[in-house]
Structure 1
């Protein structure tokens, strides 16, 4: 499980390379040169009754590599003629140069959603092979993979935002967490908790510029927006973002927050001692009570995020990954069959998210983006003892179903951390107002990133 935490941190940190991805379109070979049909970019599924061949699949080393490795035998039971070379690779260090040189290009790659837009010119458009499933894929995941009408990734996980809370501490303070329905309710619950536990900072305030920006996008996702629209146009200085920043600034001004970086020793200490009892974060925070919060394991629970308005969505997306198929891969069509099996075949997605040798209780840090697999009444992973035996599957699938549609993550998103992420931290320092953050960051991002693409 420690490998899981390291993988999550590596996935988040690696998005910083996304800013460099647009260079690919300028310096790589023209894969579709000489073809005016428009069809060369659209992947076709194999037509053979018993397809045969060899595929090379790149994944990062760690827990998910082992999970996917464990599904290969099931895949070969369905496709005995396809040999899978499953390779652990530092994708962020190797993929860009591999695509530029065209040397030993893999047939399939596990890739952060934040990077897909930057690599799209080198990837197959999967809209045709995904067509039978697209109506049953979470809209947010399908839309973050859609660029100019093409779909460039096989959606993997859905990472719904949840409100994790210390049920034991709140109960001792006389606070009913289940009564929290809106962010105004959350503020009031934090005030009440602080009155009962003087000196506490009940709500987590993220201190990392990168993770703070990622969490900001989770809040924005609830409101049906994001830092950029489907055309990559900046849409930051808006009433929706002002509302989110005003909430965070209120937490700061009233002293209702604990400012710490995600699951660092300081953060863990404040979670363990009962000072920090509300953690709005992606489902993957569930790792913390299972492995890191040894003193309060069993005290924590999860619920849907509060809504911004009484009738609004109770979740937003925070992070995510997909599988991409490079055009220069020798057998990308066969790699599609592998990913089709993993994500859309019951035997495949059950093996991924269900109990296995890597995760005896199942992969509890995400849910499938394929809606038939994310059936609330048919859990793939088991209730979590560290959450007091709570059925996290039911909570997460209900939350995931409420995530509004999304837009592709612009290739300059990670570069925006130098502006928006840092300015958000300056607001939490008390140096900028929400309005100043939005005006300044929007101007800087437009001038230094968007206009220079």
Structure 2
């Protein structure tokens, strides 16, 4: 079993431990303001920091844009090991378990328990492992369907309730206009397939006690892959990269009809196809079971206090203000253009105008709030980077060679399990 640097992280992930904790000093005996460093890539982060600094003279935060994605996570691990990590950092939820294993975040359970009720259980559970909280949720991405309302209406197609409805709608439209494509599910979209498989009932990772279970190659996950491969084989969807010049042209000319993604999607589409505003609408993501509206999250990020921070109490105060207060949540909504994890931010959203992409959908945020009520967290593993690389390679090969897409799950599971065992985890594979 693996040794970790943070006792709470060890407890949360079920690993063998040594009792090393993060720094606990707080306050500043000099009478000078406590100065904190915050790494975040989200738009508007500097404006948020400025607002906090103006109202908290005893705590001053310095914002640094360290970039997002894998680059940001790698920088953070390197900085901690070099002894120059920030006090706080924005972390993508898919990377949080890997950060915990690396000893990056501090267990802030005691610092943030007073704001837990400000979040829906599904949002809070994404940052809590075995009762220990390692981050405060900032923005969430409940999955939803963005679709060309005008074209659906032209062909007499209703927004699909189930995935079978989605396929049927695609076939109806394709029969009348073969130039139209329902969606493109990119071969590098492991982070899309994982929550859609979770919606079907398969968790790719789960942890109990000292044992991680890896079930990427589960029966329901394979059924998901078979379903979308059948759509691809019938010419109803593509498997090309999204948000490329070619893809963006299809969005603009109306030949790409839907984007099954998350509630953050309208801002992305508006950015690359602004002339299509008023033609799109948002609906709940199609379901596998018509009676079960549950969806998972795609995307989302949270703020951690690093284990090396000399001022964890003050750092937690900033994280709570930014993510749990009404003022901070409203800035996440309106300055950052994210969908706040805090319930107060989601409530504020219902009183606002819809996104610029769909000005006609005046009930947009009511629909989003309803979607957010029926969410379940995705448990991400400690080596999502390995999963991403293995899945992408295997899916590219499957699409190119015409072999079963479901076999990409086998290849991904094999790579993930081998890597976890090499790192010293106790692993079992799903039934």
TM-score range, shorter chain: 0.7 to 0.9
**What is the aligned residue count?**
405
Give 1:133's match in structure 2, choosing from 111, 115, 119: 115
Distance 1:382 1:44 in 2: 44
Gaps of at least 5 residues in structure 1 are 1-22
Distance 1:435 1:150 in 2: 35
Displacement of 1:30 in angstroms is: 9.8
Displacement of 1:146 in angstroms is: 2.5
Give 1:256's match in structure 2, choosing from 236, 239, 255: 236
Asked whether the equivalents of residues 162 and 290 of structure 2 are also in contact (C-alpha less than 8 Å), the reply is yes
Match of 1:87 in 2: 64
Match of 1:214 in 2: 191
Match of 2:426 in 1: none
Asked whether the equivalents of residues 271 and 277 of structure 1 are also in contact (C-alpha less than 8 Å), the reply is yes
Match of 2:35 in 1: 54
Distance 1:93 1:214, change over 3 A: closer
Distance 1:423 1:313, change over 3 A: farther
Secondary structure of 2:35 counterpart: strand
Distance 2:122 2:86 in 1: 27
The residue correspondences of 1:51-200 to structure 2 (distance < 5 A) are: 52-60=33-41, 64-65=42-43, 67-90=44-67, 91-92=72-73, 94-102=75-83, 104-120=84-100, 121-177=103-159, 180-200=160-180
Displacement of 1:219 in angstroms is: 0.6
Displacement of 1:294 in angstroms is: 3.8
Distance 1:316 1:119, change over 3 A: closer
Match of 2:421 in 1: 451
RMSD: 3.2
Secondary structure of 1:176 counterpart: coil
Displacement of 1:378 in angstroms is: 5.1
Pick which of 223-232 and 338-347 moved more. Answer: 223-232
Distance 2:158 2:391 in 1: 35
Secondary structure of 1:80 counterpart: coil
Asked whether the equivalents of residues 272 and 293 of structure 1 are also in contact (C-alpha less than 8 Å), the reply is yes
Displacement of 1:280 in angstroms is: 0.5
Cα deviation digits, residues 235-269 of structure 1 (max 9, x gap): 11212202211221111121101332111111112
Give 1:319's match in structure 2, choosing from 287, 296, 299: 299
Asked whether the equivalents of residues 156 and 323 of structure 1 are also in contact (C-alpha less than 8 Å), the reply is yes
Asked whether the equivalents of residues 141 and 406 of structure 1 are also in contact (C-alpha less than 8 Å), the reply is no
Secondary structure of 2:282 counterpart: strand
Displacement of 1:29 in angstroms is: 10
Secondary structure of 1:156 counterpart: strand
The residue correspondences of 1:363-374 to structure 2 (distance < 5 A) are: 363=337, 366-374=338-346
Secondary structure of 1:258 counterpart: coil
Match of 1:401 in 2: 373
Cα deviation digits, residues 358-397 of structure 1 (max 9, x gap): x7xxx1xx3111223322x753653123214324322222
Asked whether the equivalents of residues 105 and 305 of structure 2 are also in contact (C-alpha less than 8 Å), the reply is yes
Distance 1:387 1:118 in 2: 37
Asked whether the equivalents of residues 224 and 406 of structure 1 are also in contact (C-alpha less than 8 Å), the reply is no
